[in-house]
Amino acid sequence: MSETSPKLRAELEGIPTYKPGRPAAADGPVAYKLSSNENPYPPLPGVLESVTAAVGAFNRYPDMACTGLMAELADRFGVPLTHLATGTGSVGVAQQLVQATAGPGDEVIYAWRSFEAYPIITRVGGATPVQVPLTPGDVHDLDAMADAITDRTRLIFVCNPNNPTGTAVRRAELERFLDRVPGDVLVVLDEAYREFVRDAEVPDGVELYRERPNVCVLRTFSKAYGLAGLRVGFAIAHEPVAAALRKTAVPFGVSQLAQDAAVASLRAEDELLGRVGSLVSERTRVVETLRGQGWTVPDTQANFVWLRLGERTADFAAVCERAGVVVRPFAGEGVRVTVGETEANDIFLKTAESFRKEI
Ligand SMILES: Cc1ncc(COP(=O)(O)O)c(C=O)c1O
């Protein structure tokens, strides 16, 4: 056997592998997974039926153009078909966006801490990440992000609401920021959690993109729509950007199951969004209870809460796990906890209460 091994790109050195939220233990005490911002509800009956119908045909490639889904989305959002592009989850579309805009020598700006895939997809694309710290209140610092723009900036991610803090930027500040970004720099409004937003001042990116050719909106079926396991997300952007996304897509990436389930979910939207309403009520309960226990919790517009625990992060995550809920620790910074089933939220709140008394 040869002593040498294949030459890999030097940029890959030091790029962390994406770390998924830990699953709940299959054995042991009852365990709930509150570590991946998933929807705790099982798929709606109509969605299950549509997937079951597609199962018998997976010897065939899916419809590469996602015709049915694209038509449904165009209708739902009132946008032309040419402004839509799909991908394997919105993280797939985010990667396509980096590939379409940035390469070696180019810069990609995003807040930090934010969605942990941004640094990975930027560096895998060979571009340079520019991380702009959140404000002390854990919100995007849009002024500092605009100040960070250089001649080499090609792409800016604004995660709204932000993962993992749940905080959201409002219309006036976002518009002021967009006015400062040069027209040849693409701004991606990553709205993976849009359906959970209840603050009327947090703008719907789809309104903003209409008048701004350099704005792209990223959405997913993984969170509110409950299809995380099927991998389908999409972008709404003006034509040159949407067309570039179709070029950088993995051919046949979105399975027929995913396409059919997404269409069925859009058709069952009222029921789905009713469930989202229940989760939002649970979110209010969780945030208020935590604050009542003495915790500082940033306002969240997403389906999770953020506790900045610093050095106590790992301890708290371990205590939660022993109690039966798996949360998402970010070592030395804090813990992100998904709002899940009522019983899971109760376990988390009880654990948080006893932990708080000890510190
Ligand atoms: C802000 C944000 N964007 C995108 C994604 C990717 O989701 P998916 O690829 O499942 O659509 C996530 C998932 O956690 C997220 O938090």
Q: For ligand 1, is residue 118 a contact (CB within 6 Å)?
A: no
Q: What is the dihedral of CA 192, 196, 201, 204, to 10 degrees?
A: 40
- Closest residue by CA, ligand 1 atom 3: 192
pLDDT at res. 30? 62
Residues 72 and 266 sit within 8 Å (Cβ to Cβ): yes
Q: For ligand 1, is residue 192 a contact (CB within 6 Å)?
A: yes
Residues 177 and 140 sit within 8 Å (Cβ to Cβ): no
* pLDDT 10s digits, 17-37: 888 887 777 666 668 999 999
pLDDT at res. 29? 64
Q: For ligand 1, is residue 220 a contact (CB within 6 Å)?
A: yes
CA–centroid distance, 39 to ligand 1, in Å, is 13
pLDDT at res. 27? 63
Beta bridge partner(s), residue 128: 107
Nearest atom in ligand 1 to 232's CA: 11
* pLDDT 10s digits, 314-334: 999 999 999 999 999 999 999
Beta bridge partner(s), residue 337: 305
pLDDT at res. 26? 62
Site to substitute for ligand 1 among 216, 223, 254, 265, most atoms within 8 A of C-beta: 223
pLDDT at res. 45? 83
Q: For ligand 1, is residue 159 a contact (CB within 6 Å)?
A: yes
Please name the amino acid found at residue 189.
L
- Torsion sign (Cα): 324, 328, 333, 334: negative
pLDDT by residue, tens only, the chain of 359 residues:
778 989 999 888 889 888 888 777 766 666 899 999 999 999 888 999 999 988 999 999 999 999 999 999 999 999 999 999 999 999 999 999 999 999 999 999 999 999 999 999 999 999 999 999 999 999 999 999 999 999 999 999 999 999 999 999 999 999 999 999 999 999 999 999 999 999 999 999 999 999 999 999 999 999 999 999 999 999 999 999 999 999 999 999 999 999 999 999 999 999 999 999 999 999 999 999 999 999 999 999 999 999 999 999 999 999 999 999 999 999 999 999 999 999 999 999 999 999 999 88
Tell me if residue 297 falls in helix, strand or coil.
coil
Residues in the chain: 359
CA–centroid distance, 293 to ligand 1, in Å, is 30
For residue 334, count CB atoms less than 10 angstroms from its CB and return exposed for 0-12, middle for 13-18, buried for 19 or more: buried
- Closest residue by CA, ligand 1 atom 12: 192
Q: For ligand 1, is residue 163 a contact (CB within 6 Å)?
A: yes
Please name the amino acid found at residue 30.
V
Q: Report the number of secondary-structure helices (H) and strands (E) in the chain.
A: 12, 12
Residues 168 and 205 sit within 8 Å (Cβ to Cβ): no
Q: What is the dihedral of CA 73, 78, 82, 85, to 10 degrees?
A: -30
For residue 18, count CB atoms less than 10 angstroms from its CB and return exposed for 0-12, middle for 13-18, buried for 19 or more: exposed
